[in-house]
Amino acid sequence: MKLYNTLSKRKEEFVPLEEGKVRMYVCGPTVYNFIHIGNARPMIVFDTVRRYLEYKGYDVNFVSNFTDVDDKIIKKAIEEGVSSEEISKRYIAECKKDMEGMNVKPATTHPLATQEIGGMVEMIRTLIEKGYAYEKNGTVYFRTRRFEDYGKLSHKNLDDLRSGERSLLVTGEDEKEDPLDFVLWKPKKEGEPSWESPWSDGRPGWHIECSEMSKKYLGEQIDIHAGGEDLVFPHHENEIAQSEAANGKEFAKYWMHNAFLNIDNRKMSKSLGNFRTVREISEQYDLQVLRFFMLSAHYRSPLNFSADLMEASKSGLERIVNAADHLKFLMGNAKTEEMTGEEQEAYAKTQEYVKAFENAMEDDFNTADAAAAVFDLVKYTNTTVSADSSKEYLQKLFDRLVSLTDVLGLIVDRKEEMLDAEIEKLIEERQAARKAKDFARADAIRDELLEKGIILKDTREGVQWKRA
């Protein structure tokens, strides 16, 4: 399996640090509002990477943080007259709802920055002890000059950066030794959330959060660190400097970055008024469509969001779901059980599409080509099945289709949710059938409910039911 490593600027063979295991960290969102579709791209892309690694049999420890202390959160809290905690809790919950809609699996751990301050203070202390950081008036800075490899991820010329940054010095940070030095700890301002530290009551800088949380949940060395390309510099460059200086080891072996998302060929921004949240999209489309759209381009190519492309993704997804539905329908009405010799041969041919799918994914997660292989399988399926197909053949085709779409995180086997009222109605009908001693009908209703995940229990007080 090959993946493009931002560090070496080329595709490399993936070799995990520990056989059969993958330690992966993806920078998560700052939670001060509903997530926008630019936030959704890395979520979907790296969830797909994770799913493919799991499909390959790797045990993936996937960590993605929520940044729940930040200037933007504090600003929003002041605007609403509530605590920062209330804001971050609310938008973490909303973010998780959107993730569920996009079928993004929950991380193995979703650490919160505010719960990990102690570890961050320890890491900063280590950096000071090793000479990689210094304190000035309660603020602690990272001494970038001291870290020789600074710039190795972003491949930037540091002297150019220094001269460029000199004019961009933030007020109050003119005490820095070098324009590229960045904040590890800053003292609180009036009304801000703060924690105790040896330097001042204050809060950590953004970059140190990820270095600490990655170390705590994945160890000092990890396989893959990922995020949007806007994070390469300075965020990921600074994470490398902090982690490698503190731990004395290479931090992450592979660095993966997804490209930007544009809207109607323009950069998404609040000022252009083309800012779209995932929640807004969900009012118009099933978020599965958004997911499929995000995977329609290679993750390192810029992606353009437009109504036309969303419509194309919608109809593409429908083709796949319709094929799955058709297989289910035929299975329910199949006249024979076992595969014929001809069907066995026909099924063996589908291996070709699996191979094409895997080859695409192994080439730096080319989801566009992988989706094309799924469409080829769908086409093949549609042309080789009929009302005369055996149940086994249909089932095997169905399972094969699901195994591939599941890697892309597309749900094709939608269980129809039954409404409470429908369930109650069927239970009443069953009671009536029993009274009339029509036990066959009563049993049929019980089975029908069971198939839809509803379990009945006959008690002295009457029939109780629950969802499986």
Say which DSSP state 339 is in.
Answer: P
What is the nearest approach in angstroms of Zn ion to the Cβ of residue 257? 12
Q: Under rule CB under 5 A, which residues in 138-167 are in contact with Zn ion?
A: none
Kindly provide the residue ranges of all beta strands, DSSP E only, lying in 274-418, ordered along the sequence. Answer: 303-305
What is the nearest approach in angstroms of Zn ion to the Cβ of residue 14? 21
Contact stretch for Zn ion (CB under 5 A) within 38-46, 204-212, 277-285, 334-342 = 204-212
Judged by beta carbon, residue 253 or residue 276, the one nearer Zn ion is: 253
What is the nearest approach in angstroms of Zn ion to the Cβ of residue 260? 18
Q: Which bin fits 137, alpha (ψ -120 to 50), beta or left (φ > 0)?
A: left
Contact stretch for Zn ion (CB under 5 A) within 170-178, 210-218, 257-265, 345-353 = 210-218
What is the nearest approach in angstroms of Zn ion to the Cβ of residue 465? 46
- Give the x-and-dash track for 101-140 against Zn ion (CB under 5 A): ----------------------------------------
Q: By CB under 5 A, how many residues form the interface with Zn ion? A: 2
What is the nearest approach in angstroms of Zn ion to the Cβ of residue 381? 42
Judged by beta carbon, residue 186 or residue 235, the one nearer Zn ion is: 235
What is the nearest approach in angstroms of Zn ion to the Cβ of residue 158? 21
Q: Which H or E run includes 227?
A: strand 222-228
What does the buried/exposed string (b/e) look like for 59-92 if buried means 16 or more CB atoms within 10 Å of the residue's CB?
Answer: ebbbbbbbbbbbeebbebbeeeeeebeebbebbb
Judged by beta carbon, residue 113 or residue 323, the one nearer Zn ion is: 113
Closest CA to 401 of 368, 377, 376: 377
Q: Are 44 and 102 in contact (CB under 8 A)?
A: yes
Q: Which of residues 53, 73, 77, 210 is near Zn ion by CB under 5 A?
A: 210
What is the nearest approach in angstroms of Zn ion to the Cβ of residue 85? 21
Closest CA to 108 of 26, 52, 14, 223: 26
Judged by beta carbon, residue 22 or residue 27, the one nearer Zn ion is: 27
Q: Which tokens is 97 given?
A: 């709802």
What is the nearest approach in angstroms of Zn ion to the Cβ of residue 235? 6
Q: If DSSP codes are grouped into helix, strand and coil, which group holds residue 119?
A: helix
Contacts of 20 (CB under 8 A, 6+ apart): 57, 58, 59
Residue with tokens 């319709």: 322
Cross-strand bridge partners of residue 263: 266, 305
Kindly provide the residue ranges of all beta strands, DSSP E only, lying in 396-461, ordered along the sequence. Answer: 454-459
What is the nearest approach in angstroms of Zn ion to the Cβ of residue 295? 23
- Cα 377-380-383 angle, rounded to 5 deg: 150
Q: Are 177 and 81 in contact (CB under 8 A)?
A: no
Q: Are 293 and 310 in contact (CB under 8 A)?
A: yes
Judged by beta carbon, residue 210 or residue 218, the one nearer Zn ion is: 210
- Cα 281-288-28 angle, rounded to 5 deg: 75
Q: Under rule CB under 5 A, which residues in 26-45 are in contact with Zn ion?
A: 27
Judged by beta carbon, residue 122 or residue 230, the one nearer Zn ion is: 230
Judged by beta carbon, residue 147 or residue 305, the one nearer Zn ion is: 147
What is the nearest approach in angstroms of Zn ion to the Cβ of residue 151? 18
Judged by beta carbon, residue 236 or residue 446, the one nearer Zn ion is: 236
Find how far residue 352's CA is from the centre of its chain. Answer: 29
Q: Under rule CB under 5 A, which residues in 2-31 are in contact with Zn ion?
A: 27
Q: Which H or E run includes 17?
A: none
Judged by beta carbon, residue 65 or residue 144, the one nearer Zn ion is: 65
- Give the x-and-dash track for 362-401 against Zn ion (CB under 5 A): ----------------------------------------
Judged by beta carbon, residue 197 or residue 242, the one nearer Zn ion is: 242
Say which DSSP state 211 is in.
Answer: H
What does the buried/exposed string (b/e) look like for 121-137 if buried means 16 or more CB atoms within 10 Å of the residue's CB?
Answer: bebbbbbbeeebbbbee
What is the nearest approach in angstroms of Zn ion to the Cβ of residue 239? 6
The CA distance from 32 to 76, in Å, is 7
Q: Which tokens is 31 given?
A: 């939670």
Judged by beta carbon, residue 230 or residue 424, the one nearer Zn ion is: 230
Interface residues with Zn ion (CB under 5 A)? 27, 210
